[in-house]
Amino acid sequence: MDDLIGKCAIVTGGASGIGRATALLFAREGAFITIADIDRTAGPLVVRLIEDRGGRSLFVPCDVTRAQDCEAAVRETVREFGGLDILFNNAGIIRRATVPEMQEEEWDQVMAVNVKSIFLFGRYAIPAMIRRGGGVIINTASGWGLIGGRRAASYCASKGAVVLLTKAMALDHASQKIRVNCLCPGDTDTPMLRHEANQLNEPLDAFLQAAARRPLGRIGTPDDIARAALYLASDASSFVTGTTLVVDGGGLAG
């Protein structure tokens, strides 16, 4: 998709999992990539991998719940690459617990990382995109943003909020030629998924086998989700905004 050549993109949570796979794919398709992540060890390694392959990349240490960090990520992207065209709000966390089991600070953290971060990055990214004449925002929601899941109350609430925040942003900024969509991945083989097994005190192998019980018979890979993100970032989806793209191996099909 050569329409990503020369585009400037921020990927939050780009140091691992879906974010890392997407950053590498976007870079391979010609985009300049800012990795915005709290992981000061893994983030620069992704930058080095992109640059070793001939791409351009930048790491900005970023706590996506802090306004000053989000502003800095946008500012440094514009300074380094000349503008901002694509924002992939991918950073996220999960806490597997019911409402009575969860501490208030855990609830607040999940909502801050999964929802507030999209608001914060939007505040600073949208004006930069307007100056470029438009742009693309992709928000990572979840299948559990469309249906409920057990022992995941805060996660489901946060991802449901992402789905409707996406629609609201799409309506607000369509006239400025900014498209806003969200991805709803199913279980994907990332560090976060594996950490869920620990939270639930379940054997990892059994947990992953259960996650693979869907029509296509496997869990997703980060590359599966990255390819869907590439579609939403590219001109192939130029008439798509305000939608949720479910990428889950048929898990929600019925």
Which among 9, 155, 160, 230 is annotated as catalytic? Answer: 155
Distance (Å) of CA 67 to CA 71, 124, 171: 6, 9, 24
Strands across the sheet containing 86-89: 57-61, 32-37, 8-12, 86-89, 135-140, 178-185, 244-247
- C-alpha 198/C-alpha 231 separation (Å) is 33
124 is catalytic: no
Beta-carbon-side half-sphere exposure of residue 204 (alpha carbons within 13 Å): 8
Give the bridge partners for 246, in sequence order.
Answer: 184
Contacts of 48 (CB under 8 A, 6+ apart): none
Give the pair of three-digit tokens for residue 152: 């995941």
Distance between terminal CA atoms of the chain? Answer: 33
Q: How many residues does the chain have?
A: 254
Give the active site residues. 155
